Structure 1
Amino acid sequence: MKEVKSLVARSAFGVCSYLGQKMGLSTDRVRLYFIYASFVTLGSPIIVYLVLAFWLNVKKYIKAGRSMLWS
């Protein structure tokens, strides 16, 4: 069960874990901030979350492409 939870957390909450590591906060705390901010501002942080998720995906593919060129 822990493996499934870990897989879902890595794939679905990659943005929160990335931001948590960069800011030195717990991943759970970052998730709670997104949830609370979504309720208070009627969903606008969800747009920010999706943009960050897209950017992290692009960044991952760029790094993977660079490593292939130098192999």
Structure 2
Amino acid sequence: MINKMRYFFEKYGFKVSSRLADRLGMRVSSIRLFFIYLSFFTLGLAFAIYLTLAFIVKLKDLVYTKRSSVFDL
């Protein structure tokens, strides 16, 4: 069973970029480079969104302070 699973992943899981390049008529290296750039872009975009949200929350905490009583005005 493990050999069947391994054979399945070797047959259909690997060589994705080469099959895609054959289908699109491009070079394999350009497809692989595109996937590498895309992964760095998505990771960087998620990190930028995280930093932006952290900045907004920090800014909200600085502007809006909860007062404990009416006399704190």
Shared fold (TM-score greater than 0.5)? no
- Higher RCO structure (Cα 8 Å, ≥6 apart): 1
| TM-score of the superposed pair, with normalisation by structure 1 | 0.44
> Which structure has the highest helix share of the two?
1
| TM-score of the superposed pair, with normalisation by structure 2 | 0.43
